[in-house]
Chain A
Amino acid sequence: MTQIVMLAVTAAILMMAAIFFPFLELDAGGLNSRSSVFDAVLAFASGPLLPLSLAVAALIVVLPLVRLAAVTYALAPMVFGFAPAAHAEPAMRLAERTRPWAMAEIFIVGVAVALVKVAGLAHVTLGPAFWAFLALVLITVLNDNLMCRLTIWKTLEDRRNS
């Protein structure tokens, strides 16, 4: 359980770095373009595709963050030996419900495909955020695999009653 909370906190910090540092840099014929994950989110922000922009933001940034926060909220007090927080159960349920919708790892594969697409057109450099995001994805996958749903629910109930 300590591991899960620590990994969740790590992932949240990496997410902050991944959002705001430059993600990819593009050079073509003396022209330079830089983009962060934030820009990718805002890519659809102009015109009729605004809803899509919101959806992308939700899928790759908001939901993963919400899940991490929810897991931390539900488990952290127990790690430190206190009774579970007041709304630990709804938080845990939220984290489980949103699990299929947090698509950070799919985003990374999307980045790989996009890189190949523009590789012929221009020179692309990977920014620090790319590595942060990659680490974030690995940690999230590891965390989701470490987490045993039934054990957590059982522990939550036991601690709540004791």
Chain B
Amino acid sequence: MENAGRPQEFLTARRAGLVGCRHCGVAHPAGTVRCSRCGSALASRDTRSLQHVWAWLVAGMIAFVPANIYPMLLTTTFGKTAENTIVGGAIDLLLHGEIAVAGIVFFASVVIPIGKFLAIGYLALSVRRPTAIRGHSRQRLYEVVEFIGRWSMIDVFVVAILTALVQLNFVAAINPGIAAICFALSVAFTMVSALSFDPKTLWDAYEADTA
């Protein structure tokens, strides 16, 4: 490591006039449209990637609003129906003394989605204009966002299980509210948004930083 301060010049596929397959790793001559090994579509840079990211992200944010306003669970005990929103459910758990579980629910269904909106938006901005985020932290943020997105689905599954399980006629019954579908859509949209991000644009931004 004689040159630890600045990364050494390395040859990228693009500079060598090649295009690498994102799925199986084969390098093809530039301009090839379909990978010969796995058959995936090839593109050195996905120029419309950012448009897709923004479109899905906005859709996810819009779906997130009704998901928090409308009730997620309709609990009927002895003929009385109580409506629970997402945050309401977490607060209920907290009042029952289940701090850890309330934490998980709150974290999975409020903190992660909002954090994801911010993180994806920030990443999408940061590849276009200079921002405070530099070097490898951008990649790390992207990896975290991609990994963590699916875990927001927990709340939807909790509702599904509770609905199936708690059907004791008059004594207690739990039914799903309209927010469940909005929330599921919101999570799905942001997942698509994160997936349509072309990671190569992040590496371009990384090179621009270090150059």
Binding site for B on A (CB under 8 A): 24, 26, 28-29, 31, 33, 35, 39-44, 48-49, 51-52, 55-56, 59-60, 89-90, 92-93, 96, 100-101, 103, 106-107, 109-111, 113-114, 116-118, 120-122, 124, 149-150, 153-154, 156-157
Contact = CB atoms under 8 A, between A and B. Distances in A.
Contacts of B25: 150, 153
Contacts of A156: 37-38
Nearest to A36: B164
Nearest to B154: A110
Nearest to B96: A120
10 contacts: A39-B164, A56-B156, A59-B153, A89-B37, A100-B191, A106-B153, A106-B154, A109-B154, A114-B158, A116-B93
Nearest to A59: B153
Is chain A's binding surface mostly helix, strand, loop or mixed?
A: helix
Interface residues of B, number: 45
Given A33-B167, A93-B23, A150-B25, A113 B184 contact: no
Contacts of B96: 120
Contacts of A120: 96
Contact of B23 (A44, A56, A153): A153
Contacts of A157: 37
Given A39-B164, A93-B39, A113-B101, 12 more contacts: A52-B181, A93-B38, A106-B153, A113-B158, A116-B98, A117-B101, A117-B162, A118-B165, A122-B168, A149-B24, A153-B37, A157-B37
